[in-house]
């Protein structure tokens, strides 16, 4: 094993700016000469995108919490095996917009599914792969919710503000549990300010990121 990539995940409640920052980080990290593979969850492979459509379709409101959990894990396992592992093996920086911490925050934190069950499911869905760094974009839930729903809420976003508060609390618990991997980054302010904070939290893994 010569090349060893860097696996970075972006997390946080709906509308905190993950997708915006993923695109900005891709540009900045690619400018360092790194191959950057930017992905979003659920999705990123043909199979995973089909699962994504099932999960986000408002017509599937009868979906049980267990079914939802397993669909997220199914999508993740395919993405991990088909895209993430090969990219890391060739030395790429993998930038994933949500990964298994979302499942913990939403299914265990938000919906109240059994934590142990969700953690075990996450091990299966991620094929045992652990991100090198997880950046939690933290924003006042009311502001994030207003941003997220400005274009019309999808099924997840229709859960409301109390749900988003539970999601945020779950992310903060993870950061307490795993302070080396999980870093909370202030997501308020202008896009460029947030990007600078995120890059600062990557300097140890991607030399030059902070410049
Ligand atoms: N720093 C910022 N200041 C103001 N608005 C922002 C900022 N960053 C992102 N936005 C806007 O907020 C909205 C949500 O941002 P974005 O889609 O990146 O969030 P997200 O975390 O990916 O949301 P979701 O969880 O729903 O995918 C977008 O309309 C985006 O343009
Ligand atoms: Mg997004």
Q: What are the tens digits of pLDDT across the range 132-183?
A: 999 999 999 888 877 877 766 554 566 778 898 999 999 999 999 999 999 9
Q: What are the tens digits of pLDDT across the range 18-57?
A: 999 999 999 999 999 999 999 999 999 999 999 999 999 9
* Cα 41 to ligand 2 centre (Å): 9
Mutate-to-test residue for ligand 1 from 10, 148, 171, 189, highest number of ligand atoms within 8 A of CB: 148
* Cα 1 to ligand 2 centre (Å): 33
Closest atom of ligand 1 to CA, residue 187: 1
Q: What are the tens digits of pLDDT across the range 82-134?
A: 999 999 999 999 999 999 999 999 999 999 999 999 999 999 999 999 999 99
Closest atom of ligand 1 to CA, residue 10: 21
What would the two tokens of residue 17 be? 């700016």
- The pTM score is 0.94
> So what's the pLDDT on residue 146?
78
Query: Would you give the DSSP letter of residue 124?
Result: H
Cβ of residue 147 lying under 6 Å from some atom of ligand 1: yes
Q: Edge-to-edge strands of the sheet including 93-97?
A: 36-40, 93-97, 6-11, 133-138, 182-186
Domains and CATH numbers, the chain: 6-200 (3.40.50.300)
**Nearest of 17, 2, 49 to residue 192 by alpha carbon:** 17
């Amino acid at each position: 094993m010569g090349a060893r990539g860097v696996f970075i995940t972006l997390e946080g409640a709906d509308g905190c700016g993950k997708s915006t920052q993923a695109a900005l980080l891709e540009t900045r990290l690619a400018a360092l000469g790194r191959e950057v593979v930017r992905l979003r969850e659920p999705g990123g492979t043909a199979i995973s995108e089909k699962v994504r459509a099932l999960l986000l379709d408002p017509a599937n409101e009868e979906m049980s919490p267990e079914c939802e959990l397993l669909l997220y894990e199914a999508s993740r396992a395919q993405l991990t095996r088909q895209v993430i592992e090969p990219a890391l093996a060739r030395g790429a920086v993998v930038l994933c917009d949500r990964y298994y911490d979302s499942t913990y925050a939403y299914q265990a934190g938000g919906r109240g599914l059994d934590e142990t069950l969700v953690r075990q499911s996450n091990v299966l869905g991620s094929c045992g792969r652990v991100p090198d760094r997880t950046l939690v974009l933290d924003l006042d839930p009311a502001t994030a919710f207003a941003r997220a729903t400005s274009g019309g809420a999808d099924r997840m976003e229709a859960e409301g503000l109390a749900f988003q508060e539970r999601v945020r609390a779950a992310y903060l618990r993870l950061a307490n549990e795993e302070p080396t991997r999980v870093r909370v980054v202030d997501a308020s302010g202008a896009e460029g300010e947030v990007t600078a904070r995120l890059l600062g939290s990557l300097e140890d893994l991607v030399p030059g990121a902070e410049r």
